[in-house]
Chains A and B, each alone.
Chain A
Amino acid sequence: KAGVTQTPRYLIKTRGQQVTLSCSPISGHRSVSWYQQTPGQGLQFLFEYFSETQRNKGNFPGRFSGRQFSNSRSEMNVSTLELGDSALYLCASSLDGFYNEQFFGPGTRLTVL
């Protein structure tokens, strides 16, 4: 069974630009969660999608948005990039959102210059 895939793996952008990250969950998984990982803050929850609907949202500004498609693939968008947005962005998929069924992808390393 293929794992969670994320594209691209690395990305370099400049301040003010926008970026779109993609996540393909494990086949059959309907829940996709997004996290931001930084050395100082650790993993912080961005949002979770289930069957194309956002079910939960973390404490991030509106510049961070996402969506989920009918095939459960998910995209995350960050507009008007700031230097502080440099981080590893991880997505995790699960069948229904249970913690012990959550599988992470390898992440997208975003660098904002």
Chain B
Amino acid sequence: QKEVEQDPGPLSVPEGAIVSLNCTYSNSAFQYFMWYRQYSRKGPELLMYTYSSGNKEDGRFTAQVDKSSKYISLFIRDSQPSDSATYLCAMSVGMNSGGYQKVTFGTGTKLQVIP
């Protein structure tokens, strides 16, 4: 079983819809939770990050973490065609003794927003 599970999609929604992207995980030691966006032929870019449980909002994006259920979500309000990309969830237990924060990624969900 993978440490981080993510539905690969593809997910196709009309412009203006609310999008919900989700990941589950098995490692209860994860404390840092991230969402990356990856456009075609580009590297991932960090979209949002949260520490521990709760919600975090940034414009049209809301990241939600439920540690008791080992479940995280990214909501996109008023979705736009420019949001069409692959969204990767990622998690980390924190800085290790070697001084590096190893990040474990989900496989990504491909989102298409149709005009």
Cβ of A8 to closest chain B Cβ, rounded Å = 14
Q: How many contacts A-B (CB < 8 Å)?
A: 67
Cβ of A34 to closest chain B Cβ, rounded Å = 12
Do the beta carbons of A106 and B41 come within 8 Å of each other? yes
1-25 of chain B: CB within 8 A of chain A: 6, 8
Cβ of B33 to closest chain A Cβ, rounded Å = 10
> Which of A36-44, A63-71, A75-83 binds B?
A36-44
Do the beta carbons of B103 and A39 come within 8 Å of each other? no
| Interface residues on chain B, size class | 20 to 34
Partner of B46, one of A48, A56, A100: A100
The number of chain A residues with a CB under 8 A from chain B is: 28
Q: Which residues of B contact A97 (CB under 8 A)?
A: 95, 99-101
Q: Which residues of A contact B115 (CB under 8 A)?
A: none
Q: List 20 A-B contacts (CB under 8 A).
A: A39-B8, A41-B107, A42-B6, A42-B88, A42-B106, A42-B107, A43-B44, A45-B104, A50-B99, A56-B100, A56-B102, A90-B44, A97-B95, A97-B100, A98-B95, A99-B46, A99-B49, A99-B90, A102-B103, A104-B45
